[in-house]
A and B are shown apart, each in its own frame.
Chain A
Amino acid sequence: MRKYAFVAWMMLSVCVLASPMAWGQDTIKIGIILPLTGDQAKFGEIEKQSFDLALEEINESGGIRGKKLQFIVEDDTGRPDVGRSAAEKLITKDKVIMLGGGYSSSVTFAVAGVAQQNRMPFLVNTGSDDKITEQGWDYVFRLNPPVSEYPGALESFLTEVVRPKTAAILYENTNFGTSGSKEFKATCDKLGIQVVINEGYEHGGVDFKPILVKVKQANPDLVYMISYLMDASLLMRQSMELRLTPKIFVGGAAGFTLPEFPKNAGKASEKVFSATLWYQTLRYPGAMDYFNKFVKKFNKDTEYHGAEAYAAAYVIADVLKRAKSFSPEDIKEALSKTDMMTVFGPVKFVSYGKKTNQNKLPTYLVQWIDGKLELVWPKEQASKPYVFPIDWTKEWK
């Protein structure tokens, strides 16, 4: 008899819990998917904090037509299957009217598929694999440039200043790393740079010396690395140990722009360049304000991921204010008509090449100078002049 009671109780509780519950009807709910735990947690944290910062400001200045905006943040833990489940939960259970976020390329790709299928507008702000906006998905919009455009500023820097003849590409074996390396190789082919080494590695390695010593032997002018945080630090530290001295080291954003990078790599991070999508001294209204507000509130620097999130929040607010109604079609319509300025830059979704609903932005080049990240290219917008050529023996003393 007890067995029946137990089974019946389980079934009943499942049914009860499954019935839709009506929570706060007076807020406008947006679902945000970010990695809050797992190895990308640091990035997810900066983005969430930026979302929160923007949300506070938006709600304080009246919200959306008098109603408060609410961000329901779900943790994708860095895994695309979890991201998918999170998206489904936000759509079917929390009944959000729009999705935002999307950090890792593989998670973003999986979530975008869900969004498109459920006709749920999704504003991507970080996931950078080109494929995400090349599927013809009309419900998916992307604020940030795709990874193929990351080295944009680097291109002109290379052709005008460095003029390398050979390059080595090292990338982490993830969606971001793999797609980034493919695109950079294409860039090198275009610029007539010979790629002597193009190798991926498994994230989490202890010893990169085998690959670095191969690079050293090939003696390239340029070493381009695409990594998240810790591998970036180890790669630079071990390059220093091996006395690997190309003309320049360039990182493909991600781990190379975080404030933790110089903390971990120490002097090995000095004078390392990186592509980046944003910098606080850019003449976008509110850019410096956002930077200062963030530093004040969270006691640490922010960088392009945070700016992406902050800008995305404002775009979402703007879209909701303009939308004729909160139906998915009207929100999608409003998104496609977006034409505004944010701290991250101008936002207008266009189609070009194979891409649809993609925002087009220039990218920049930064360099770590004396432990601080400085914008060095294009020259007109630089916060400090670039350092090149680099005397590695001096740097690594």
Chain B
Amino acid sequence: MDVLIQTVVSGFLIGGIYALIGLGMTLIMGVMGIINLAHGQLMMVSMYITFVLFHYLSLDPYFSLLVTMPALFVLGILIQRYLLNPLLKVESILPENQVLMTVGIGMVLAEIARFIFSSDYKSVKTGYTSAALYVGEISFNLPMCVAFGIAVLLTIGLFYLLLKTDLGKSVRATAQNKEAALLMGINAERITIFTYGLGSALVAAAGTLLLPIYYLFPDIGGPFTLKAFVITILGGLGSTVGAIVGGVVLGVAESLGATYISMALKDAVGMVIFLLVLIFLPGGLKRLTKV
């Protein structure tokens, strides 16, 4: 029984980090219809920034959040403005050009990181890295709990932003129907730029919070991008609450798969869920609720 509880708890907690990664992507995909295959690499950038700040300025990762989120916001804006928006105007055979552009961007980001930092594994050692709270025999990793809490806070913040503010409403309007939004006087181009920046800032937070409990290397992005997709599809495009739920579901499913099927097939569990949802539940879990 203990095994089951601990497994579920671990899955739940890692789900929080996954949710943060997925939050950014669901925004970008839901609002702009952009499949961002560079998502993981954006997270990588924020992790390297966190690493550098920790190493050279001894800045604790939690404080680095205040640096990495704005930094990635700016990076996201630049990418959207100069590399992605222009694609909307280019006549090309494949509409998937935009996806492939993000592939290119991801590669460039990873290689530049490799160039500057080499392929070595980097990590930060903080006092709280392995700290844990214990309820009976069940251990709750402290940094992951904090990350989970921050993920929830950011979700609430995002929710509020999208639902209550003008900016948020413009974002949702653009997501629903770009032409109509334009007609309503919304500067759709600006909004898409803003949204990509926001999505990047969110994944930056995920990276900064992940670094103390994991490690860093240039190729870290790939697997996390995939997980972000699973969560986005699972939770439903554009649904903030869906991202949290999707993240937790993925985390728990992976943990259960690791314990009861095989550790080596852990990632396959996510992929299978992904396929099942894509095929049988296209709207994601969102379809089952009204949020």
Q: Which residues in A have some Cβ–Cβ distance to B below 8 Å?
A: 37-39, 41-42, 173, 199-202, 204-211, 213-214, 216-217, 229-230, 233-234, 237-238, 240-243, 260, 263-264, 266, 268
Contacts and interface: CB of A to CB of B under 8 A. Distances in A.
Contacts of B11: 207, 210
A38 B7 contact: no
A230 B137 CA distance: 26
A207 B255 contact: yes
Given A199-B263, A210-B10, A241 B139 contact: yes
Contacts of B267: 202
A210 B258 contact: yes
Given A209-B255, A217-B2, A241-B141, A266 B118 contact: no
Given A207-B255, A211-B258, A241 B130 contact: yes
Given A204-B223, A207-B14, A243-B139, A237 B130 contact: yes
A243 B263 CA distance: 20
A229 B121 contact: yes
B132 interface: yes
A214 B10 CA distance: 13
B266 interface: yes
Contacts of A206: 14, 17, 210, 213-214
B121 A213 contact: no
Given A201-B264, A217-B2, A241-B139, A207 B10 contact: yes
Contacts of A243: 137, 139
Nearest to B124: A264
Given A207-B14, A210-B10, A38 B119 contact: yes
Contacts of B219: 39
Chain A CB within 10 Å — which of B6, B17, B119, B256 has the most? B119
A211 B263 contact: yes
B264 A173 contact: yes
A210 B7 contact: yes
Contacts of A207: 10-11, 14, 254-255
Contact of B259 (A200, A214, A240): A214
Given A213-B7, A230-B123, A238-B130, 19 more contacts: A37-B119, A39-B217, A42-B121, A200-B264, A207-B254, A207-B255, A209-B10, A209-B139, A209-B255, A210-B11, A210-B258, A211-B258, A211-B259, A214-B259, A230-B121, A234-B214, A241-B139, A266-B130, A268-B130
Contacts of A38: 119
A199 B259 CA distance: 10
B167 to A, nearest CB: 34
Contacts of A37: 114, 118-119
Nearest to A77: B119
Contacts of A266: 125, 129-130
Nearest to B265: A202
B266 A205 contact: yes
> What's the dominant secondary structure at chain A's contact region?
helix
Nearest to A255: B121
Report the 6 A-B pairs with minimum CB-CB distance, sorted nearest first. A210-B258, A209-B10, A210-B259, A201-B263, A213-B6, A211-B263
B9 to A, nearest CB: 8
A230 to B, nearest CB: 5
A39 B119 contact: yes
Nearest to A236: B130
A263 to B, nearest CB: 7
A204 B61 CA distance: 21
Contacts of B262: 199-200
B120 interface: yes
Interface string B253-276: 011101100111011000000000
Contacts of A214: 3, 259
A213 B259 contact: yes
Contacts of B63: none
A264 B119 contact: no
A213 B2 contact: yes
A259 to B, nearest CB: 13
A233 B125 CA distance: 11
A200 B121 CA distance: 21
A338 B262 CA distance: 46
B147 to A, nearest CB: 12
A39 to B, nearest CB: 7
A210 B269 CA distance: 14
B258 A264 contact: no
B160 interface: no
B263 A200 contact: yes
Contacts of B139: 209, 241-243
A168 to B, nearest CB: 12
Interface in B99-157: 114, 118-121, 123, 125, 129-130, 132, 137, 139, 141
Nearest to B259: A210
Contacts of B118: 37, 41
B216 to A, nearest CB: 9
Contacts of B263: 199-202, 205, 208, 210-211
A264 B130 CA distance: 11
Chain B CB within 10 Å — which of A204, A209, A210 has the most? A210
Interface in B42-57: none
Nearest to A268: B130
Interface in B215-253: 215, 217, 219, 223
Contacts of A264: 123, 125, 215
A173 B258 CA distance: 14
A38 B121 CA distance: 10
Given A210-B10, A213-B3, A41 B120 contact: yes
Nearest to A208: B263
A217 B3 contact: yes
Nearest to B134: A243
19 contacts: A41-B120, A42-B121, A199-B262, A201-B263, A202-B264, A202-B267, A205-B266, A209-B139, A210-B255, A210-B259, A211-B259, A213-B3, A216-B3, A217-B2, A233-B123, A241-B130, A241-B139, A264-B125, A264-B215
